[in-house]
Amino acid sequence: MTEPQDARFRRIVYSSIATARADDETQIDILRQSRANNGLNGISGVLLSDGKRFLQVLEGTPEAIAHVFAQISADPRHAEVRTLNDELDSRRIFSGWTMASMSDKRESDAVRERLQVLLRSAPADIRAEFEDILRTVG
Ligand SMILES: Cc1cc2nc3c(=O)[nH]c(=O)nc-3n(C[C@H](O)[C@H](O)[C@H](O)COP(=O)(O)O)c2cc1C
């Protein structure tokens, strides 16, 4: 894979399995915590969940991503954290969102549009995972 010359951002896409049912309250808690921290750490991305599993995109400097991904991987609210893609890019796809979510109806169209940008160049298996979870989240 060729990396952009001015690659400054690292983007990780991972999936995981919720250890307890990720109900609305759990998802809201995670989003609130993510948005507060990510704003301080310059991280952008999106978090999707169908209640049983999570799919998340994290973007930021390589240092910030290494730090947050280590924390997230150790979080007991989910398990089987599996990295689907890990790449460098010169630009963010989710610029402006400290953690976007499809649960916010006002932003779901914009989030969907950004996801299409991500998936355009993604391998077929990753596209299939996102399309599957997007069918259940509306
Ligand atoms: C599915 C999932 C996604 C998460 N995403 C983020 C995130 O984007 N940013 C973040 O700081 N914490 C995220 N967390 C929470 C971290 O695992 C961890 O609890 C948090 O970073 C600790 O923050 P604190 O030191 O402020 O309590 C996520 C947790 C889960 C289960």
Task: Kindly report, residue by residue over 50-103, the tens digit of the pLDDT.
Answer: 999 999 999 999 999 999 999 999 999 999 999 999 999 999 999 999 999 998
Report the pLDDT value the prediction gives residue 3, as an integer from 0 to 100: 64
Give the number of the atom of ligand 1 that is nearest the alpha carbon of residue 45.
Answer: 8
What value does the CA radius of gyration of the chain take, rounded to a whole number of Å? Answer: 14
Count of other CB atoms within 10 angstroms of residue 117: 12
- pTM, two decimals, is 0.94
* CA 108–ligand 1 middle distance (angstroms): 21
pLDDT band at residue 2 using 50, 70 and 90 as cut-offs: low
Count of other CB atoms within 10 angstroms of residue 15: 19
* CA 5–ligand 1 middle distance (angstroms): 31
